[in-house]
Amino acid sequence: MTGAGTWSLGESDYERINEHLTELLKECNARCALVVDRTGQLLANAGEELSFDPTVFASLTAADFSANDELAKMIGEPEFASLFHQGEKESMYLADVARRVILVVLFDKRTTVGLVRLRVKQTVQDLSALLDEMFSRAPGQADKGGPLDGADDEIDKLFGK
C-alpha cells in the first residue's frame, strides 16, 4: 500500500451517500447532485439522468476545485469552501466536504442559489460525519482483504508477463 490514492467505497456507504443526496435534491429542488473525490473520481450521483460523461465531469470538477484552492492561498485564504458557477439556464454549486470529497449540485430556474447554498450546508455536515466514520474505521474491517488479494496471476494473465 503506497498511501497515495488508495481507498475503497463499500456498498452500504455508497447507499448512505445516495440517501443524503436524494434528500438534498428533494429539499432544494435541484436537478442532480454528485459526489467526487479529490483525485477526480465519481463516488455517487443522484437525481436526473446525466446528459454528459460523468467521468470527465468528475475529473474536471476536481481540477476546478484544486486550481481554485491554489488561487485562494495566493490571496491569503486557506481555501474556498464553495464555488458557484452561474449560467444562463443551468448553474452549479460546488462545496468542499471535509477536504476529502466535493459535493456538486446542478440546478436551474426552478430554484435559487440561496436555497441551494442553505440546504447544501446540512448535507455537507452529514457527509462529513459519514466520511469521518468511513475513514476512522479500522482498515479492511468492512471489506476484509481487497478484491485483488493474491490476484498476481490473474493480473499477469490480463496484462501479459
Partner 1 sequence: MINYASREINCKLVYYGPGLGGKTTNLEHVYGKVAPEQRGKMVSLATETERTLFFDFLPVDLGTIRGFKTRFHLYTVPGQVYYNASRKLILKGVDGVVFVADSQMERMEANVESMQNLYDNMSQYGYDLTKLPFVIQYNKRDLPNAAPIPELQEQLNPGWEVTDPAKQRVTPDSVNEGEFLISQVDGTWIERAPYMESIALKGEGVFETLRHAAKLVLKSMN
**Contact region with partner 1 (CB under 8 A), list: 26-34, 117-125, 127-135, 139-147:** 139-147
- The answer to whether 31 touches 22, Cβ cutoff 8 Å, is no
- The answer to whether 68 touches 82, Cβ cutoff 8 Å, is no
Q: Determine if 150 is a binding residue for partner 1 (CB under 8 A).
A: yes
Cα 138–Cα 96–Cα 120 angle in degrees, nearest 5: 105
Element holding 4 (H helix, E strand): none
- Nearest residue (CB) to partner 1, 108 versus 156: 156
Q: Binding residue for partner 1 (CB under 8 A) from 22, 26, 39, 133?
A: 39
Closest-CA residue to 19 (of 117, 115, 137, 130): 130
Residues 53-92 that bind partner 1 (CB under 8 A): 53, 55-56, 59-60, 62-63, 66-67, 70
Say whether 106 sits in a helix, a strand or coil: strand
CA-only gyration radius of the chain, Å: 18
Q: Determine if 14 is a binding residue for partner 1 (CB under 8 A).
A: yes
CB of 111 to partner 1, least distance (A): 28
- What Å distances lie between residue 26 and 41, 80, 119, CA to CA? 25, 26, 10
Q: Determine if 2 is a binding residue for partner 1 (CB under 8 A).
A: yes
CB of 86 to partner 1, least distance (A): 21
The site for partner 1 (CB under 8 A) is made up of: 1-11, 14-15, 37-41, 43-44, 53, 55-56, 59-60, 62-63, 66-67, 70, 143, 146-152, 154-156, 158-161
